[in-house]
Amino acid sequence: MALKTAEEYLESLSKLRPVVYLFGQKVESVLDHPIIRPSINSVARTYELAHDPLHRDLMTARSNITGEIVNRFTHLHQSTEDLIKKVKMLRLLGQKTGSCFQRCVGMDAINAVDSVTFEMDQELGTEYHKRFRSYLRYVQENDLTVDGAMTDPKGNRSLRPSQQADPDLYLHVVEKKSNGIVVRGAKAHQTGALSSHEILVMPTIAMREDDADYAVSFAVPADTEGIIYVYGRQSCDTRKLEGGCIDVGNARYGGHEALVIFDNVFVPWERVFMCGEYSYAGLLVERFAGYHRQSYGGCKVGVGDVLIGAAALIAEFNGVEKASHIREKIIEMIHLNETLYACGIACSSQGYPTTSGTYLIDLLLANVCKQNVTRFPYEIARLAEDIAGGLLVTAPSEKDLFHPEIGPYVQKYLKGVEGVPTEHRLRVLRLIEGLTLGTHAVGYRTESMHGAGSPQAQRIMISRQANLEHKKALARFLAGIDEEKI
């Protein structure tokens, strides 16, 4: 059984030696850095729950490659049941961590690359799919975390990759050798890059013939020579350096993003899955984006459950839980959250097999799911802030709370209902603050807008997938304009 424990995952990560910069300083150990460690804890939870009898059915699956039980994050979807279980698993992990747990991108990447390489090989006579399946066997047998890397810096958005003044603003092949390729460029906004063993790179947009050098997909170990990580800042991130836990909100778990620089990185041919096949770049982007937009119907819902629970708790601690307007706001939060979940389940239940046998979600419904995610979490967050009250953003620090002289005053004057310690009230407020304004807002609110593509990207796909001509034909027949039944 290829299932790492959480402890084995942490040990395996400690053996990597990535080049990492944070706040202008080189990081010697990502596991020991207080800003980075919570995000690693979130990934460790995905390993821990795979061994929990209560959650094993969601967290694991039988591999169609090895025949063994593997972590679902390394699995190729073989049915609509797999697609549905994926969404349920992501909701569960959102509930357990209250943050981004970072393995979704890699899972969505392996499923997209699998079907696209199969279709490339069928048409072009290449051997990319065989290479990829061999690579995925290695990932499954070692229960590795894969960082799916798609987004390029892009430079001038009005210009195509080959038209940029600086050719490195899109990652591209700079040299082909007998034993592999050399690539240069960067991938931006890379979720969980420092929590991962492997990086699976994909093109970021549809390509034309002039862009062939940019149509590249490959996988490399996360500490490959020439790869440099620049850690992304988050709101309130320096609170993690203060040594406390209340002011962080959720001190146990977190997420992170990084700019990943590829400075003339060598990739052996056996780990190259696309190299110049520009006509397939758009298909790979479309399928990956579809899978990842499905993911948001699970992960954001799970974190939404935590935020709704926190809002209900602070209403109780403030003594207003029975007020009709508070009850209505919480009901609205639940309604919005479950609507997101319904979209995630819907696009999964309408999935279908690709020619490789790997199941794909309904792309239209997946894009509708993500379009809702760009809106509903913002309203859920707004309602949580409304219910929490002004103390959400004016509360003193925990150092004041526990100060020998000032502390008793803080305890006295910031108390809510009798029987609830002031500390508990402030803990819940900080949790809400973190989810709506602080470090965890990156993985909930802001990522809901830009993760898996901008809102406009989903609207473009909705337009493409909606089959408007068929809808017009239905109207023409029922209006009596056309005689032939549809």
- Structure-block tokens of residue 311: 């809002």
Long-range contacts at 346-355 (CB < 8 A, ≥ 24 apart): 347/83, 347/294, 347/297, 348/80, 348/83, 348/84, 348/86, 348/87, 348/294, 349/80, 349/83, 349/84, 350/80, 351/77, 351/80, 351/83, 354/115, 354/118, 354/119, 355/115, 355/118, 355/119, 355/122
By the 8 A CB rule, do 348 and 361 touch?
Answer: yes
- Structure-block tokens of residue 92: 């569960």
By the 8 A CB rule, do 329 and 310 touch?
Answer: no
Is 280 among the residues known to form the active site?
no
- Structure-block tokens of residue 167: 């050719």
Taken in order 349, 299, 371, 185, is the CA torsion positive or negative?
negative
- Structure-block tokens of residue 127: 């051997």
C-alpha dihedral, 231 to 237 to 243 to 249, nearest 10°: -130
Rounded CA separation 40/99 (Å): 11
Cβ neighbours around 142 below 10 Å, total:
13
- Structure-block tokens of residue 332: 């609205």
Q: Which among 84, 198, 199, 224 has a CA at the least distance from the CA of 143?
A: 198
Catalytic-labelled residue, pool 292, 347, 398, 439: 292
Catalytic-labelled residue, pool 214, 296, 341, 359: 296
Q: Which among 251, 204, 253, 362 has a CA at the least distance from the CA of 297?
A: 362
Catalytic-labelled residue, pool 100, 275, 343, 347: 100
By the 8 A CB rule, do 398 and 436 touch?
Answer: no
Task: Provide the annotated binding site.
Answer: 191
Amino acid at 9: Y
Is 292 among the residues known to form the active site?
yes
Reduced to 3 states (helix: H, G, I; strand: E, B; else coil), residue 114 is: helix
Rounded CA separation 66/1 (Å): 10
Longest pairwise C-alpha distance within the chain: 86
Task: Provide the annotated binding site for FAD.
Answer: 191
Is 296 among the residues known to form the active site?
yes
Reduced to 3 states (helix: H, G, I; strand: E, B; else coil), residue 417 is: coil
Rounded CA separation 84/70 (Å): 17
Catalytic-labelled residue, pool 48, 198, 257, 277: 257
Catalytic-labelled residue, pool 97, 191, 354, 374: 191
| Secondary structure of 75-97 in HEC code, one letter for each residue | CCCCCHHHHHHHHHHHHHHHHHH
Catalytic-labelled residue, pool 104, 343, 347, 369: 104
By the 8 A CB rule, do 352 and 330 touch?
Answer: no
Is 347 among the residues known to form the active site?
no
Is 257 among the residues known to form the active site?
yes
Is 97 among the residues known to form the active site?
no
Is 378 among the residues known to form the active site?
no
Please list the active-site residues. 100, 104, 191, 257, 292, 296, 299, 447
